[in-house]
Amino acid sequence: MTADPEVRTDSGAVRGSWDKGVAVFRGIPYALPPVGAHRFGHPVPPQSWDGVREARVFGPPSPQAGASDSEVNASWLTLNVWSPGLGAAGIPVMVWIHGGRYIEGHSANPHQNGATLAACGVVVVSLNYRVGAEGFARIAGAPNNRGLLDQIAALRWVQDNITAFGGSPHKVTVFGQSAGGGSVASLLTMPASAGLFTRAIAQSVPGTFFTERLAATVSDEIAGELGVQATMTDLQRCSPQALVVASERLLQRMPQFVDAWGPMALTPTPFSPIVDGATLPDAPWRALADGAANSIDLVVGHTRDEYSLFHPWHDDAVPDGLLTDTIQRIAPISCRPGDYRAAYPDSSVEQLYEIVNADWLFRMPCEHLAAAHHAGDGTARLYELTWSFNPDEGASHSLDMLLVFGTLTRDDITSQPSAHPEAADEYEQVSHSMRADWVDFATHGAPNWPSYEPSGTRTTRVYNADTTDRPYPEESSRRLWAHHRFDALDLSI
């Protein structure tokens, strides 16, 4: 019987377990619990321990809806390591940042199990970080973007400790999806993250970044729910769970602020990274275009049907006036409601409503990020996932994450009544293809498809049952958004 794996970190020894032939270490603290005097502050390195610390259980999530009181008072800032080869093996490292609208998510999600990915020849690291008001609210007296600062602290831990787990600190790829993709886009341009990773994969990057003014107004509303001011002193007197509840209440009321807060009031989250000129100097599109990360190779992309899971009108007809109002609120100023109809003449009102929301929230931010990196003399590669097994959802938001980690089962697919007969076999093919490309990129930095050329053919890797490299599939939308400039969202009035 193989002995449980043990590794010594800078803080002390940890004992893990085995999963599919991969050594797994769970719940390793990379910073002190951000409670008490450390709440709303910068992450602080963890304390050392004597003996061997058991690392068999995932750490608890940051405070969020569904987390118990015992969990929100525990150590939230932990990470996990899956390694196919311990010791000084110099294996490429992939650091995963989970999504969850900047208000939820955790590394214990079974669909983000790193064993299958690690077995392909990389060390996989995942982490919990502060979400919601604890991590992203604008709080007077506290640093902005605390959730991002946590991620940077975890990346520093990787630099200091990953060699003992078989990883190379000189071959670190950071990757994430949805809010995790937005985090990756942020990390590319944050001064504090310089030198901590060499490559980046940004999946389904949201187009929402806030100015300090907008973020402060949102925080004022949350604090108002609790009868306090949005200051570090006042909010430290409120429990983490009380902040979660207040944030959820605001989320339900957000549409009433659309005239003042603009289109962010129509999104499913009150939080986003804050462009403050310090922790996050600029919105990532502008920063990349100015060359902020031109030494870092980038893969960025999205799914075709990014908005299908968020569509509130799935079972009802979308009023024609709602489509017109939505286009006027979130599409480029130069885009008229008739332009979307002309670009997609065969689409229904419901389909157009989904397309314009997908474009604004995820698809165009990703395409523009690739173009911006190219403009700043960086190398970017663009992808789109068009494969799906559930016709009701299509190539939905987060499906690319499931494919990369390979955590769906054949039963997950065949149990869908509408899944086509070849879906399970196709899943294995597409999953293998995406995972192989991600590992190849992390290992060599040059995946086997051409870089994105905004003024050329715009070659894109399109993942389907037969993966191909071809011109960007969403050309109709790209043209409508060609002159738009993504930037930090501000108050409208």
Residues designated catalytic: 178, 306, 397
Separation between Cα atoms, residue 221 and residue 219, nearest integer Å: 5
Residues 6+ apart with CB under 8 A from 116: 20, 405, 406, 407, 435
What CA–CA distance (Å, rounded) separates 465 from 427?
8
| Planar angle of CA 430, 90, 407, nearest 5 degrees | 25
What DSSP assignment string belongs to 392-416?
TT-SBTTHHHHHHHT---HHHHHTS
Specify the pairing of strand 17-19 against strand 22-29: antiparallel
- Measured between alpha carbons, how far is 263 from 489 in angstroms, rounded to an integer? 9
Which tokens go with 26?
Answer: 């769970």
216 three-class SS: helix
Contact predicate 364/481, CB 8 Å = yes
Distances (CA, A) of 473 to 109, 331, 459: 31, 19, 9
CA–CA gap between residue 421 and residue 423 (Å, rounded): 6
All residues at 6 or more sequence positions from 300 whose CB lies less than 8 Å from its CB, including other chains:
181, 201, 202, 203, 205, 366, 369, 370, 373, 380, 381, 382, 383
| In contact, 290 and 283? CB cutoff 8 Å | no
CB atoms inside a 10 Å sphere around CB 467: 18
Contact 115, 82 (CB under 8 A): yes
Alpha-carbon distance 300 to 48, whole Å? 38
